[in-house]
Structure 1
Amino acid sequence: MSDRWRTLRRRIITPDVSETRLDVRGFHVKNQVARDILETVGKSFLAGYAIAAEAKDQSIAERRIDALQPRFRGFAYEGAAMAYAVIDGLSLWRRDNSPRFLAGPGDRHIYMAYVGIGWAMARVPRFRWQRLVLPDPTLRWLALDGYGFHQAYFKTARYVYDQYRDPSFTWHGGGPQSYVQRAIDQGIGRAMWFVYGTDAVRVADAIDGFDPERHQDLYSGAGLAATYAGGADEAELQTFWQRAGEHRPFVAQASAFAAEARIRAGLLVPHTEVATRVFCGMTATAAATLAETTRPDGPDGDQLPAYEIWRQQVAREFVAIGRN
């Protein structure tokens, strides 16, 4: 493929950077600091997407993404994973970009990479979804998390304000179908941290307005975003923790997952330490270790996927040490 064609491909398939602006999205602006953080997250995502769409090979893309700020680098890898999945999903012939990325440059950022594939699901026609490769049977549910985030971020009125669930959604990724909407809700909750501008009270108020059966997954998703993306100080995180009520063990679980994602990638930053101290009652390293060592080895259950079994085990560990 020529350099000219790769440049053209990048221009055609890369979303416009204006879509990352909070005013364009109609999201709440808490303050300028939070706005800058959230908009830089979006710009970093699109930077990774554009780099992957244009790079001659994945090693070049890796070097360019690794030059970005550590705080936002994981989002660039998420964007790169989306780009490779979109290319595979739309290609008439090759479809090995995404698997090579997951096994290569994306491996250290594997959680973000699976979420990025979920973004691709939202942009690739459904009849092409079978071309999107999800080799890890536990982490494949993160693609649905990514899909839910995308829908809440770009179709906010429908998925957040109107609390929509798509009755026609069909998941071909395997595992218990009854868990599909729950995984999507975790992504919606994560997006709500962005929609409400990292304002802990507004996020909690919005979650509490949903059907109670959805609260656990929405709070968990928002807790993950608060830990990984940041944007709230310690007092605000304490407020969110208090508002989560009975769902605190799953906020702690999600915070531990976010810490593990950052530490695996070598991208641990101060705001993640603050969040795990508030939500988990421990350092980010300790929380990440707890998450890593409780990951199940077995297959999906009849009613729950291995991913949810893992989440519940981590939540129980936090209950046992009084984080409830």
Structure 2
Amino acid sequence: MATPLGSLRRLVLAPSLHSVSFAGRKFPVTRTPATDRLEMIPQSVVVGFEWGIESRGTAEVEQRLAMVEPEMRGFAYEGAAMAFTVRDAIRGHRTGELILGSGRPHFFLAYIGIGFAMARLPRPLWRKILPDLSDIPFHPTMSWLAVDGYGFDLAYFHTARWVDQQQRPVPYPWEGHPGYFLRAVDQGIGRALWFIHGGRPTAVAAAVARFAEDRRADLWSGVGLAATFAGGATAAELGRMRDTAARDGYAGDLAVGAVFAVKARHYADFVPGHTVAAASALTGLRIEEAVDLADRTEVERTGTGPEPQYELWRRNIRTQWLSTVVTPSHKE
């Protein structure tokens, strides 16, 4: 049960469901059953945020999150992680408790929720924003998903500045790699493009093409992750999008995002049909093959090189996929 202070936090900080809807954001989306389903994702994030921002502690939030349907549950955890991160910036360890508890299967999305909080917190607070997740084998490698989440938030809520005008934020030395920060931001912007255009592959591809060439690889990677994890398009549409990316030399980048999406869904022990279809259309791989590709190309948690371990893992996936590329089939 929420306290009076919790109710006040929710009133002041929680966005409305309409404000995150495609109509509320004034995105160029024609409403269909597919876009209605896609729109449930940001709304599920809001629901998780509301529970996290008003609750007394993690136990009650975890009980509520357990009632969310499996396909949307990870997104609700994303919102709860965002809320707890905002609260922990003042005092507490709620985010770590959530992720190391019932949120462990959804820790990929929890990182993204931390990134959403980063978009609302002053940068001096970022230094201690990550909880101690050393018990999770993919930490801190996958913590770059927080920067991805930060980029997504910028594009989704301030589309004119970060998408239309294509501005870029000031770099930040995340995990000691300020030079990679903008690349991870672009991966998040690429994910946002999938939602901004309602999962319409032709419009998404055109949006990527409007960006400078040196940004497109990371944007395509974000598109692949969103299309595979969130769904919203048919296998035929995805196949044509892959052909478009391939013509410009970005099929491998699209595949990297798709493989990471499969890995995250598989880790959460729920792989919806649209993820199966997208993995096949974008990579030519079955779910178990995509998971195996991610697992056998994984890198050590920490490194001292000029690039983060996260990018080395991504590069390994791309190189291995391109060396054994399977041309996905799709029906027109």
Q: TM-score, normalised by structure 1?
A: 0.93
2:117 counterpart of 1:114:
no
Give the aligned residue type for 2:318: A
2:307 counterpart of 1:315:
no
Q: Deviations over 1:191-230 (max 9, x none)?
A: 0001111110111011011111111000000110000111
Number of aligned residue pairs:
319
2:276 counterpart of 1:279:
no
Match of 2:53 in 1: 53
CA distance in 1, matches of 2:172, 2:101: 26
Shift >3 Å, 4+ stretches: none
Give the aligned residue type for 1:248: A
Which of 275-284 and 9-18 deviates more?
Answer: 9-18
Match of 1:218 in 2: 219
Question: What value does the CA root-mean-square deviation take over the aligned residues?
Answer: 1.7
Give the aligned residue type for 1:18: H
Listed as ranges, the gaps of 5+ residues in structure 2 are 133-138, 328-332
CA distance in 2, matches of 1:312, 1:134: 27
Q: Give the C-alpha shift of residue 267 in structure 1.
A: 2.1
Q: Give the C-alpha shift of residue 293 in structure 1.
A: 3.2
Q: Give the C-alpha shift of residue 298 in structure 1.
A: 4.8
Match of 2:194 in 1: 193
2:42 counterpart of 1:42:
yes
Listed as ranges, the gaps of 5+ residues in structure 1 are none
Q: Give the C-alpha shift of residue 323 in structure 1.
A: 4.3
Q: Give the C-alpha shift of residue 237 in structure 1.
A: 0.4
Q: Secondary structure at the match of 1:139?
A: helix
2:31 counterpart of 1:27:
no
Q: Deviations over 1:247-273 (max 9, x none)?
A: 111211111111111111122100000
Q: Deviations over 1:3-62 (max 9, x none)?
A: 333233223221122112211211121441232023211110111111122233323212
Give the aligned residue type for 1:55: S
Give the aligned residue type for 1:99: G
Kept in 2, the 8 Å contact 1:134–1:173? The answer is no
Kept in 2, the 8 Å contact 1:18–1:24? The answer is yes
CA distance in 2, matches of 1:82, 1:138: 19
Kept in 1, the 8 Å contact 2:2–2:54? The answer is no
Which of 61-70 and 142-151 deviates more?
Answer: 61-70
Match of 1:288 in 2: 291
Which of 3-12 and 228-237 deviates more?
Answer: 3-12
Counterparts of 1:232-311 in structure 2, within 5 Å, are 232-245=233-246, 246-311=249-314
CA distance in 2, matches of 1:219, 1:241: 10
Kept in 2, the 8 Å contact 1:95–1:131? The answer is no
Q: 1:301 to 1:275 in 2, by over 3 A?
A: farther
2:71 counterpart of 1:71:
yes
Kept in 1, the 8 Å contact 2:221–2:253? The answer is yes
2:129 counterpart of 1:132:
yes
Q: 1:205 to 1:301 in 2, by over 3 A?
A: farther
Give the aligned residue type for 1:213: D
2:97 counterpart of 1:100:
yes
Which of 27-36 and 232-241 deviates more?
Answer: 27-36
Kept in 2, the 8 Å contact 1:260–1:285? The answer is no
The percent identity for this pair of structures is 38
CA distance in 1, matches of 2:303, 2:326: 27
Q: Give the C-alpha shift of residue 316 in structure 1.
A: 1.3
Kept in 1, the 8 Å contact 2:151–2:187? The answer is yes
